[in-house]
Structure 1
Amino acid sequence: QTFDYFIRRHYTYPYQTDYPPQEEEDAASDDTEGHDEDEQMYEGEYQGIPHPDEVKEARRAARREARMKARMAAEVEEETLPEQYESIMEDCGHGRFQWTLFTVLGLALMADGVECFVVSFALPSAEKDMCLSNADKGMLGLIVYVGMMIGAVLWGGLADKLGRRQCLLYALAINSIFSFLSCFAQGYGIFIFFRLCSGIGIGGSIPVVYTYYTEFLQMDKRGEHLSWLCLFWMLGGLYASFTAWGIIPHYGWGFSMGTEFQFHSWRVFLLVCFLPSVAALAGLVFMPESPRFLLETARHDEAWMILKQVHDTNWRAKGEPEREFQVSQIKTPQTQDDEFIEIQSETGTAFQRFMVRQMTLVKQVMKNMMSLAAPDLRLHGLFIAIVWFTMAFSYYGLGAWFPDQIKYLQFEEYESNVKIFHREKVERFHFNFTLQNQVHKEGEYIHDRIFGKMFSKEVFYFEESLFENCYFEDIRSTDTFFENCTLKNTVFYNTDLWEDSKFIDCKLENTTFLHPKKGCHLNFQEENDTLIYLVCFLGSLSVIPGNIIAGLLMDKIGRLKIIGGSMLGSAGCTFFVLLCFSQWAVVLFHCLFFAASAAAWNGIEVVTVELYPTSKRATAFGVLNGTCKLAAIISTFIFGKFIGITKIIPIILSFSALVCGGLLAFKLPETREVILQ
């Protein structure tokens, strides 16, 4: 109504009326007589009355002008909102509140770092308890990243609609619950389901944590303090590798209830590893919601109270409790989503209203996700997605390849020490000592007695041999096989050597298996390889220099130089891996690569939160972090195929990806001195 009044007030005439068209020829003015029909003029023109078409055009022009002014005013208003918020954060200062939040969110980030290592550390022991095949082990290692990929996209999208704190609480609660349940799961199916759910929960930590913390930082503090926050992910790796090193080799740290329930040391390790998530969850209960999110959803009063809390906490800690919060009014952007939900809340029964709200939420999240492809975000979004993918492809691929390469070198060393016995004949002998790393071919063993865990450490292999009137007792073996052998009148008592597992193309004549130890046929007392824990510990420790450099230089030389320089430096490190022919050489370059790539991760995460507006920040981060986990899945699978075959292909793939991503990073917009939108 106000708009129509504005139009009538300025673009109409008080004496204007509608004139019906003249139908009679003699009604025309004498002044217009004699003109052709096409050349006739509107006679009201001589009386100063505008033509009706001109009036309509004037009205349309007025509407266009009014819309343009309203749009320009809205744009100016939107432009002033980020500046106002930045000014408020500068007035609040950086102090006790931010450091408290830093610690709580750091624990959540630490829980994510633990989750990336926990299954790989527990897997060698878990396969013994749950009789896992190679395919089962591969799926268990893969399922964690699948869960984290789903969780990143899910919680990132929800955080822009439900709130950063609320979604992080849900995510950490799900991770804590299912991590705890997985400690006691005895079957493979239920265990892998619990780890999937745990991964979905912790997958939301990275996108929500960075978004949440960024919105409490002023512009000149963002780069530095987000880089310090990255240190907690490294602490998660240190925590996981250190506790695995200290707990898993101690097989006696556990208990059992019959044969159905086993709780060994690796389950104690899982129990210890869910503690950072629980600690973060407990601390987050006392933290407030992001005021930027509250302003985005038009919750002005709540945002004002939280900003006042930040202000008072910081200045009280600095010894100025009398300093007052000067802000009385904060502008809020326009939003239509909440109004739409409120309209739908009047629908039907409570269940129907619940379903309507959930469907509305899903539509809003999907709409927000699709808006990332808007013309003003599309190109930069594509570039940063490629940078995320290439960095993760190389980092996670080589991160899994280095330990596997060490295991392969250990296997080669073992094979070089294997003793081969050919055509030996042993009669009436008692074997009561441990035999390991031996291969016996075409031997004859007659009236021999073999007992007492003689095969417990390494491979013991019989090929084309004869066993006659022999007795095997109390043997628990790791990798012992009989191939193309003949066994006559032989007894196996209380052993895990039984016909369906260890005998390949063998001929068994009058052979008896008494009290067989059926199951996984693996030695539970076998010593775990602590070198792998040490490698992961050193790899996590090596990223400290990169994090420190990134924190000190992020706001001085810019984000893009940090990302590009670190990725290109990491690419150079990959070529030195070709010179690795020993275990310790692999360990050295493993640490060097991780140290060089740490700064790139810091820069990528800082640019991501600064590149997108508040309404899309968590969604974009979640999608990009999901892309990162997808790259991890692909690279881990590809690189694993070349273990023991060639080093060249993994190195070329990593080098190419890092160079491509590093060069493309320079095409991203520099966000160093940009106010968050």
Structure 2
Amino acid sequence: MGSAYQFHSWRVFVIVCALPCVSSVVALTFMPESPRFLLEVGKHDEAWMILKQIHDTNMRARGQPEKVFTVNRIKTPKQIDELIEIESDTGTWYRRCFVRIRTELYGIWLTFMRCFNYPVKDNTIKLTAVWFTLSFGYYGLSVWFPDVIKHLQSDEYASRVKHFRNEEVSHFVFNFTLENQIHSNGEYINDRFIMMKFKSVTFEDSLFKNCVFEDITSLNTYFRNCTFVNTTFYNTDLEQYKFVDSELINCTFFHIRTGCQISFDDDYSAYWIYFVNFLGTLAVLPGNIVSALLMDRIGRLTMLGGSMVLSGISCFFLWSGTSGSMMIGMLCLYNGLTISAWNSLDVITVELYPTDRRATGFGFLNALCKAAAVLGNLIFGSLVGITKAIPILLASTVLVCGGLVGLRLPDTRTQVLM
């Protein structure tokens, strides 16, 4: 946004992520109410019109716009109101609150257990396995990918390090940036280090005599087993922990800057994290388009099982990822394949539950999704430093097994439980 003002990267990221949420809230105000709710509150005409609108839209999509909407019978759902005696005359207020809370929790438990009763018990068990495996693999790899990319970039950066040995420099003024260097067994006599930036620089077994360090900014810079004699440090961020096993003789420190002195203008690692996430999210777009166009053609189960199996197979290509760029490509491929499974799983979950159990079943599976995500984050996060074979085998096996379980679900194209 120019030199006058600049957003920090995480704020831009949060604002961009919030825009779809705000758009959804605005769009919801233009959506009609559900027919079931209108029937419950006695607005039968409004419910009738919405059902007719849904029917006409579906018939136009099937190429049968002339088909007339007819309903022989509408079963109106009933709202069950239970009156509970809570000792209103003799009971205390906390006793009444306790009974009411217990009653509500018991009602929630009964509603939850209905998802494990006939005829939806088998569907709930299978959906539980599919939701758990998909969430475990997807969110686990979502944590694993950025850290592995960071490790590969660090190794690639370290492979380009420059070594300088046995340097003898005297009466020289250093006023430029040093980056990704190792200086060993050097002697620096009467030198001045003025307005410099040290980035990933290490001095080992070196001697600094009658030197001056002034206006120094450092990042990942250390002096190991070095000797400083009659050296002055003015307005630097060279704190004590950066002198590892070093000896300082008659040295003077003025205006030492403490705390975090990292400059994000020079270190693009933070921006890179958001850029990788942006590319991974952008790869979801073609997957969404494909799933929207093919779901009714090839079927929900075929798309669910096929997407999860292909996602598991794509994990094996991670073995060939030897650089950060290749791993980003694998991340985009994985996200593009997985999104079809998420879309079809949402549709299947809704269609396999009758309306009186749909919200409870969907809420339970989403809670399970969050638990699996946390477990996947913990497990895959701990495997970052281990060989890639373990997380790849784990993720691929989980996704393939979940896809095979998904193929065992009943076909929902023929009927939707209302």
**TM-score under structure 2 length normalisation:** 0.83
Show the counterpart of 1:61.
Answer: none
Any residues of structure 2 matched to 1:329-348 within 5 Å, and which? Answer: 330-336=74-80, 338-340=81-83
Does structure 1 retain, via aligned residues, the 8 Å contact 2:36–2:47? no
Identify which of 444, 451, 472 aligns with 2:194.
Answer: 451
Show the counterpart of 1:626.
Answer: 367
> What is the deviation of 1:382?
1.8
Structure 2: distance between partners of 1:264 and 1:572: 38
Unpaired stretches in structure 1, ≥5 consecutive residues: 1-246, 255-262, 319-323
Structure 1: distance between partners of 2:342 and 2:165: 56
Secondary structure at the residue paired with 1:652? helix
Sequence identity, in percent? Answer: 47
1:275 aligns with 2:19: yes
The number of aligned residues is 407
1:428 aligns with 2:194: no
Show the counterpart of 2:258.
Answer: 518
Structure 1: distance between partners of 2:381 and 2:244: 28
Q: What RMSD over aligned residues (CA atoms) do the two structures have, in Å?
A: 3.6
> What is the deviation of 1:618?
2.0
Any residues of structure 2 matched to 1:55-134 within 5 Å, and which? Answer: none
Structure 2: distance between partners of 1:453 and 1:541: 39
Show the counterpart of 2:206.
Answer: 465
Q: Using a 3 Å threshold, how does the CA distance of structure 1 residues 276 and 590 change in structure 2: closer, same or farther?
A: closer
- Which has a greater percent of helix? 1
> What is the deviation of 1:313?
11
Structure 2 letter corresponding to 1:278: V
Structure 2 letter corresponding to 1:607: I
Structure 2 letter corresponding to 1:600: A
Does structure 1 retain, via aligned residues, the 8 Å contact 2:137–2:398? yes
> What is the deviation of 1:424?
2.1
Task: Note the alpha carbon deviations across 1:618-676, whole angstroms, 9 max, x for none.
Answer: 22222212222322222233333343541111111111112211111122121112223
Show the counterpart of 1:440.
Answer: 183
Structure 1 letter corresponding to 2:194: F
Task: Note the alpha carbon deviations across 1:218-275, whole angstroms, 9 max, x for none.
Answer: xxxxxxxxxxxxxxxxxxxxxxxxxxxxx8xx89745xxxxxxxx8453344345433
Show the counterpart of 1:373.
Answer: 116
> What is the deviation of 1:460?
0.8
1:299 aligns with 2:41: yes
Any residues of structure 2 matched to 1:168-317 within 5 Å, and which? Answer: 253-254=5-6, 264-285=8-29, 287=31, 289-293=33-37, 295=39, 298-301=40-43, 304-305=45-46, 307-308=48-49
Secondary structure at the residue paired with 1:453? strand
- Which has a greater percent of strand? 2
Show the counterpart of 2:215.
Answer: 474
Structure 2 letter corresponding to 1:417: R
Show the counterpart of 1:610.
Answer: 351
1:578 aligns with 2:298: no
Secondary structure at the residue paired with 1:675? coil
Does structure 2 retain, via aligned residues, the 8 Å contact 1:291–1:304? no
Q: Using a 3 Å threshold, how does the CA distance of structure 1 residues 584 and 666 change in structure 2: closer, same or farther?
A: same
Q: Using a 3 Å threshold, how does the CA distance of structure 1 residues 344 and 607 change in structure 2: closer, same or farther?
A: farther
Does structure 2 retain, via aligned residues, the 8 Å contact 1:251–1:525? no
> What is the deviation of 1:433?
0.4
Does structure 2 retain, via aligned residues, the 8 Å contact 1:253–1:264? no
Show the counterpart of 1:101.
Answer: none
Show the counterpart of 1:244.
Answer: none
Show the counterpart of 1:391.
Answer: 134
Structure 1 letter corresponding to 2:303: I
Identify which of 109, 123, 148 aligns with 1:405.
Answer: 148
Q: Using a 3 Å threshold, how does the CA distance of structure 1 residues 282 and 555 change in structure 2: closer, same or farther?
A: closer
Does structure 2 retain, via aligned residues, the 8 Å contact 1:477–1:523? no
Q: Using a 3 Å threshold, how does the CA distance of structure 1 residues 525 and 557 change in structure 2: closer, same or farther?
A: closer
Task: Note the alpha carbon deviations across 1:300-346, whole angstroms, 9 max, x for none.
Answer: 33x65355467579989x9xxxxx9988984323453x3347x7697
Task: Note the alpha carbon deviations across 1:139-197, whole angstroms, 9 max, x for none.
Answer: xxxxxxxxxxxxxxxxxxxxxxxxxxxxxxxxxxxxxxxxxxxxxxxxxxxxxxxxxxx
> What is the deviation of 1:285?
4.5
Does structure 2 retain, via aligned residues, the 8 Å contact 1:393–1:635? yes
Task: Note the alpha carbon deviations across 1:548-581, whole angstroms, 9 max, x for none.
Answer: 3322332233221111112112222222221222
Structure 2: distance between partners of 1:504 and 1:311: 78
Structure 1: distance between partners of 2:4 and 2:148: 30
Secondary structure at the residue paired with 1:612? coil
Does structure 1 retain, via aligned residues, the 8 Å contact 2:284–2:335? yes
> What is the deviation of 1:286?
5.2
Q: Using a 3 Å threshold, how does the CA distance of structure 1 residues 538 and 498 change in structure 2: closer, same or farther?
A: closer
Structure 2: distance between partners of 1:580 and 1:518: 40
Secondary structure at the residue paired with 2:125? helix
Q: Using a 3 Å threshold, how does the CA distance of structure 1 residues 351 and 643 change in structure 2: closer, same or farther?
A: closer
Structure 2 letter corresponding to 1:428: H
Secondary structure at the residue paired with 1:339? coil
Structure 2: distance between partners of 1:522 and 1:655: 39
Secondary structure at the residue paired with 2:319? helix
Does structure 2 retain, via aligned residues, the 8 Å contact 1:566–1:600? yes
Show the counterpart of 2:65.
Answer: none
Secondary structure at the residue paired with 2:218? coil
Q: Using a 3 Å threshold, how does the CA distance of structure 1 residues 478 and 304 change in structure 2: closer, same or farther?
A: farther
Does structure 1 retain, via aligned residues, the 8 Å contact 2:13–2:274? no
Secondary structure at the residue paired with 1:475? strand
Q: Using a 3 Å threshold, how does the CA distance of structure 1 residues 287 and 547 change in structure 2: closer, same or farther?
A: closer
Show the counterpart of 1:205.
Answer: none
Identify which of 404, 407, 418 aligns with 1:666.
Answer: 407
Show the counterpart of 2:341.
Answer: 600
Does structure 2 retain, via aligned residues, the 8 Å contact 1:419–1:437? yes
Unpaired stretches in structure 2, ≥5 consecutive residues: 61-67
Secondary structure at the residue paired with 2:217? coil
Structure 2 letter corresponding to 1:591: C
Q: Using a 3 Å threshold, how does the CA distance of structure 1 residues 618 and 526 change in structure 2: closer, same or farther?
A: farther
Structure 2: distance between partners of 1:565 and 1:325: 36
Show the counterpart of 1:558.
Answer: 299
Task: Note the alpha carbon deviations across 1:473-499, whole angstroms, 9 max, x for none.
Answer: 222222112223333333322222212
Structure 2 letter corresponding to 1:379: D
**TM-score under structure 1 length normalisation:** 0.54
1:502 aligns with 2:242: yes
